Amino acid sequence: MRMRLIAVLALAASLLSGCGYNQIQINDEAVAAAWSEVLNQYKRRADLIPNLVSVVQGYASHEKEVLTRVTAARASVAGIKATPELINDPEAFAKFQKAQSELGGALSRLLVVAENYPQLKADANFRDLQAQVEGTENRITVARNRYIKTVQEYNVSVRTFPNSLTASVMGWKTKPNFTVDDEKAMSAPPAIKFDKSASDAAPASPTSAGYQ
């Protein structure tokens, strides 16, 4: 009886392995882990923004449009619940992707504006925050690339035969991924245009009110 049970279990394990069930599960776990790291780095970036805005505001309080835009973009990102189910919903994933892309663009514009204020660039707090932001952007790129790769591996595993049969029975579908257009948008330098009158104006002097 015991030998028969062992034989049945061995057969079941063989069938599960042969139909790709185990591999799909492994790939799905890899996607979840990679996604967690993406979220971790995006959160790190969002956490840096309030302090960065505060420091910039101290020297460039009149740059209201840029300051407001990055603050609004951060609020938009915070309003999206990045649940595990999000990576299985193409529409929700696209919304999340768009919000993060807009935040990245707004943050880039903020840093570009800061280049016009020598006193701000000399501020130790700003330099530290700028270095942290740049480091975080690099980590985001690495995390996104890993996620793209793991999703690709998962999608291949659920679309190729005989795994596709198991995926169809279990209701497993391909997962959405970051798009090439989004990658280009995030890596492209922001186009900043300043009015001649603004460029000729002297940079605002720092005020203690900006550090509230």
Give the pLDDT of residue 181. Answer: 57
Give the pLDDT of residue 76. Answer: 95
Instruction: Tell me: pLDDT of 197 over 50.
Output: no
Tell me: the pLDDT tens digits for 124-138?
Answer: 999 999 999 999 999
Q: Pick from 175, 183, 146, 153: which is nearest to 87 by CA?
A: 175
Instruction: Tell me: pLDDT of 110 over 70.
Output: yes
Distance in angstroms (rounded) separating the CA atoms of residues 80 and 45: 15
Instruction: Tell me: pLDDT of 119 over 80.
Output: yes
Tell me: the pLDDT tens digits for 53-93?
Answer: 999 999 999 999 999 999 999 999 999 988 878 899 999 99
Average the pLDDT over 98-119 and give the result. 95
Give the pLDDT of residue 4. Answer: 52
Of the CATH numbers 1.20.1440.20, 1.10.10.10, 1.10.150.110, 1.10.10.350, which one belongs to the domain with range 21-191?
1.20.1440.20
Tell me: the pLDDT tens digits for 137-190?
Answer: 999 999 999 999 999 999 999 999 989 999 999 999 999 999 865 555 444 544
Distance in angstroms (rounded) separating the CA atoms of residues 205 and 211: 13
User: Is residue 3 very low, low, confident or very high in pLDDT (cuts 50, 70, 90)?
Assistant: low
Tell me: the pLDDT tens digits for 6-53?
Answer: 433 343 444 445 578 999 999 999 999 999 999 999 999 999 999 999
Give the pLDDT of residue 151. Answer: 97
3-state DSSP of the chain: CHHHHHHHHHHHHHHHHHCCHHHHHHHHHHHHHHHHHHHHHHHHHHHHHHHHHHHHHHHCCCCHHHHHHHHHHHHHHHCCCCCHHHHHCHHHHHHHHHHHHHHHHHHHHHHHHHCCCHHHHHCHHHHHHHHHHHHHHHHHHHHHHHHHHHHHHHHHHHHCCCHHHHHHHHCCCCCCCCCHHHHHHHHCCCCCCCCHHHHHCCCCCCCHHHHC
pTM: 0.76
